[in-house]
Structure 1
Amino acid sequence: MLGIGRGSFIFLIRKLHARGRFRRKAIIVGSKENARGLFEKISSNPQFGYQVVGFVGEDEGYLRQNPSGLKVLGKIKDLGEIAREEKIQDILIALQPDWKGSLQELMNRVSNLEVSFEIVPDLTDLFRGYQTAPLATSLLLRIFPSQMRTWEWALKRLFDALTSMVVLVVFLPIWILLGVLIKLNFKGFPLVKRGCLGKAGGIIGIYKFKVSKEELGWENSSLTSKSPQGVLGKFLRSSGLEKIPIFVNILKGEMSLVGPEPLCQETFEKLSSNLPLLPKRLYVKPGLFSLAKIKGKFTDYMDGAKEYLLYDLRYIENMSLYFDTKIFLGGLALFIKRQFT
Structure 2
Amino acid sequence: MVRVFNHYLQKRSVTQVAFDVGLIVAVLILTVMTMGGSDPLSLPVAAAQGLSLAGVMFVVNSATGLYQPAPKRSLTQVCARGIVALLFALPITYAVLHLVPMGQAEAPWASFAAMAAVAAVVLHRAYASHVADPARGRSRVLVLGAGPAALDVAQSLRESDPMAQIIGFYRGSDTEVAVDEKDLVSTADSLSETALRLGADEIVVALSERRGGNTPLRELLDCKVVGIRVVDLATHFEKNLHQISLKHVNAGWLVFGDGFNQTALRSAIKRAFDIVCSAMLLLVTAPIMVLAAVAVRLESRGPVFYRQERVGLNSQPFMVTKFRSMRTDAEKDGKPVWATKNDDRVTRVGKFIRRTRIDELPQLFNVLRGDMSLVGPRPERAFFVEQLVQKIPYFAVRHSVKPGVTGWAQVKYDYGATEEDAAAKLQYDLYYVKNHSLFLDILVLIETVAVVLTGRGAR
TM-score by length of 2: 0.40
Give the RMSD, CA atoms, in angstroms. Answer: 3.0
Pair 1:302-2:416 in alignment: no
The alignment-based identity, stated in percent, is: 28
The 1-side partners of 2:414 and 2:289 are apart by: 29
- Which residue number corresponds to residue 286 of structure 1? 403
Higher helix share: 2
1:101-120 equivalences in 2 (<5 Å): none
Q: Which amino acid aligns with 2:352?
A: F
2:285 — aligned with what? 171
- Contact 1:198/1:262 (8 A) holds in 2: yes
Q: Would you say the 8 A contact 1:228–1:237 is kept in 2? A: no
Could you tell me how far apart the structure 2 residues matched to 1:255 and 1:221 are? 22
Deviation at 1:167, TM superposition (A): 1.8
Distance 1:215 1:242 in 2: 18
User: What amino acid does structure 2 have at the position aligned with 1:183?
Assistant: R
Partner residue of 1:89?
none
Uncovered stretches (5+) of structure 2, i.e. residues with no partner: 1-253
184-193 or 252-261, larger mean C-alpha shift: 184-193
Name the aligned partner's letter for residue 432 of structure 2: Y
Letter matched to residue 189 of structure 1: P
Alpha-carbon distance change, 220 to 281 in structure 1, aligned in 2, over 3 angstroms: farther
Equivalent-residue separation in structure 2 for 1:277 and 1:247 (angstroms): 28
Is the contact between residue 289 and residue 358 of structure 2 (CA under 8 Å) also seen in structure 1?
Answer: no
2:378 is matched with which residue: 248, 261, 276? 261
Amino acid corresponding to residue 167 of structure 1 in structure 2: L
Q: How far off is 1:253 after superposition?
A: 0.9
2:330·2:345 contact (CA, 8 Å) conserved in 1? no
Aligned to 2:268: 154
Tell me how far apart the structure 1 counterparts of residues 277 and 330 of structure 2 sit (CA, whole Å). Answer: 29
Work out whether residues 257 and 289 of structure 1, in 8 Å CA contact, stay in contact via their aligned partners in 2. Answer: yes
Paired residues of 1:161 and 1:251 also in contact (CA < 8 A): yes
Greater fraction strand: 1
Partners of 1:221 and 1:274 in 2: CA distance:
18
Contact 2:327 2:347 (C-alpha < 8 Å) held by counterparts: no
1:206 match: 320
* Paired residue total: 201
Distance in 2 of aligned mates of 1:321 and 1:285: 14
Q: Separation in 1 of the partners of 2:261 and 2:327?
A: 44
Matched to 2:274, the amino acid is D
Q: Residue 276 of structure 1: CA displacement?
A: 3.0
1:149 Cα offset (Å)? 3.5
In 2, the alpha carbon distance for the partners of 1:195 and 1:222 equals: 14
Unaligned runs of 5+ in 1: 1-125, 132-145
- The residue aligned with 1:273 is 390
Assess if the C-alpha contact under 8 Å between 2:416 and 2:422 holds in 1: no
CA contact (8 A) 1:147 1:320 kept: no
Q: 1:283 to 1:165 in 2, by over 3 A?
A: same
Tell me if 1:237 matches 2:354.
Answer: yes
> What TM-score, normalized by structure 1, do the two folds share?
0.53
- Aligned letter for 2:439? Y
CA separation in 1, counterparts of 2:315 and 2:335? 14
Q: Distance in 1 between matches of 2:443 and 2:322?
A: 25
Larger Rg: 2
